Structure 1
Amino acid sequence: MQIKPLLKITLVFTLCVILMGAYTRLSDAGLGCPDWPGCYGMLKVPSQAHELNQVQQAFPEHTVEADKAWLEMIHRYIAGTLGLLVLLILAISLKTNDAPKKLPMFIAALIIFQAALGMWTVTMKLMPIIVMAHLLGGFALFSLLLLLYLRSKPLRIPGGDLPARKLAGFAAISIGVLLLQIILGGWTSSNYAALACTTLPFCEGNWVDNLSFAKAFSPFQGEHASFEYGVLDYSARMTIHVAHRVGAIITTAMLLYLAFKLIHTAKSTTIRNAAWLLAVLVVVQVILGISNIVLHLPLGIAVSHNGGAALLLLTLVFINYALWRKA
C-alpha cells in the first residue's frame, strides 16, 4: 500500500478528530460517558431497558444523557480509527526501505499518549491542564503527519528561493507565537472563559484592576468532584480571556506581516500561494473570534475557530518546512 494516499486520509481523520473533540467539549458532552473507553461499561450508548437497568446498578449517581453520550462515543470511534491508521503508517514505514522510521515511531507513540490523555480527561473529570494537553496533542499530531507527508513527497523550490529564505527565522518565531496563542485558546476553552468578556476590544468594566494572573494560570486548581463548567472565579477567567485577546492581536500582526513579506519577496509560486493562504486564514480566524464574542459563542462558529487554528498551524508548518529545508 502506498503511504502518501494513506497519509492524506489520516490527515483528514486527524482534522475530523480535532473538530469532533471541539464540538464535544463545546457541547458540554466531555463527561457524556463517565468511564473509558466504553460508555457505562458498553461499546455503545446504552438505550435498551435492560442496558439502562445495568447502568442504574453500576452507575447509580449518573443519568444517561443519550445526546451527550453519543457525541463522546462518536469522538472515540473516530479517534480509535485514527489510531489504527497511524499504526498502519508505522507498519508500512518500517517495511519500506527508503521511508522515514523515527518520525512514524514518534507519531505512533504520540497517538498512544493521546489515548491516555483522553482517558485522563474523563477520569480526572475535565481537569483543565489535561483537557488542554489533549487538545495540543491533537494539533501536534496534525503537524507531524503533515511533516511526514512532506518528507514522502519532496518539495521542489526552484533555485532555492533565497530571498524568501531570509524570512526563515521570522517564520520560526511566528510559529512559536502561534503555538502560544493556541495554548492560550485551549486554556480559555478548558476553563470555560470564552464568554468572560462580551465587549470589544478587551473587556467590560474596570478589567485592568481585576486581573489575577496567579489564579488564572495556575496549572493545578485543587481537588474538585468535577471541573465541568469551570472552577475559577470571574477575575481569573477574565484574565485568561484578556490574555487570549492580547495574544490574538500579536499573533495576527506577526502572521500578516510574514504573509505580506513572503508574497512580495518569494520567487516560488508555491511559497507565495502558501503566504496568500496564510493571510486568508488569519483574516477568517479573526472574524470567527470576533463573531464568537458578538454572537455569544454559537457552536458552529466556535468549532470553526478551533478548526481555523489547526489549519493556520498546518500552513505555518508547511511554510517553515519550505523555508528551512536544504535547497
Structure 2
Amino acid sequence: MASDRGRKSTIYDIATSTGTSPATVSMVLNGTWQRYRISEATAARVLGAARDIGYTTNMKARGLRLARSGLAGMIMPHYRNRFFAGLSETFEAGARARGFCPMVVSTQRQPETEREVVERLLSHQVEFLFIVGVARPEPLNDLCHAAGIPCVNIDLPGANAPSVVSDNRGGARMLTDVLLDKIAAADRGTGGTAGEEIHFLGGVAGEYATEERVAGFREALAARGLPLRDDRIHPCGYSPPVARRAAEDLCRRLGGMPAGLFVNSITAFEGAVQFFQSLDRAAFHGRFIGCFDWDPFAAFLPFPVTMLRQNVEAMIEQGFAYIEQYRPDEFPMTRIPPRFGPVAGDVRNA
C-alpha cells in the first residue's frame, strides 16, 4: 500500500500514472464514474493502476459517500452587502426547488476558515458545493474532487472547477462610459477637460474582479483618447474605514471632489459615503459618481449615483446548470453581464 519511502499512495499518484485528473480518479474509486460520463476504458485503467500501486479505498467511507444526504452547500465571505446576500437567498431558493436542504456558511475571507468549513461540509456529505468569493478556490476545488463532490466557483474564478462570474470588464466599461458622458455634457460649451479627472477607488490589486474592472475602466478612457495615469487608480481594498480614508485623501490632494469617481464595490462605496457626509452639497455640483454594485438605499443620498447591479439570479442559475451537467475534467467559465440598477435622482438609472 505504500509508495516511495513508506508514504501511502494517494489518488494523485494514480492520476499521475494514468494521465487523468484527481477528480476522475475519485469518481472511479467512489463508483460514481458512469454518472459523470467517464468512459469504461478510463475507469478500468484507473482501477488497474490503483491495484498496481496497492491503493485501497475505505469501504465504510465509500458507503457513506454513495448515500444521498439531500444537503447542498455554499460558502461565502459574508452577508454584509446585497450582492452576497442576494447570492445566498437565490442559492437557497434554487436548492429547495430542486429538493435539497441548503447549508450556507460565511468565512470572512479567511483561507484557513474557508478550508475548515469546506472540510466540515464535506464530512456532512453535502451533494455539491458553491464556492463564492474565494480569491484562490483551487485548493477547495481539489478537496471536493477528492471527495467526489461536484463544485462550482461563483464571483471569483478558479482553474479546477466550473466558474460563474460577472462580466467585470464589460460592466466597468459601461459604467465608465456613463460617467464620461455626464462629464462631457457638463463640460460642453466650457472647453473643460474634466474627463481627464476621473478616478477609480477600491478593490484589491491583483485580484481577478478588480483587475478586470480596472481594465474596463482603462478601455473606456482609451476609446475616447483620454489619458489615464496610474495615480488615478486607488486599490484600497473593500474595508469601509479604509475606503473612507482613501476618499478623504483623494479629495484633499485634488482640493475637492474629482470630476468622476468610479467606486469598485458597495462596501468601498459605504466608506466613501461616510466621508461625503462631511461635505457641503455644493461639493457635488458637476461631479459624477458610479458604483460597481447596487443598493436601493442609495436613492436617499443627497447626490445622484449611477450603480450597476450584478445579476445574482442568472449567476446562481448558471451555477446549478454546471452542477447538473457536471463533468469532472471540464472547467468552463461563464461571464454574466451586470445591469444598471434603479436609483432615484439619476436619470441614467430610470
TM-score, length-normalised on structure 2?
A: 0.25
- Which of 1 and 2 has greater Rg? 2
Bigger strand share: 2
TM-score, length-normalised on structure 1?
A: 0.26
Bigger helix share: 1
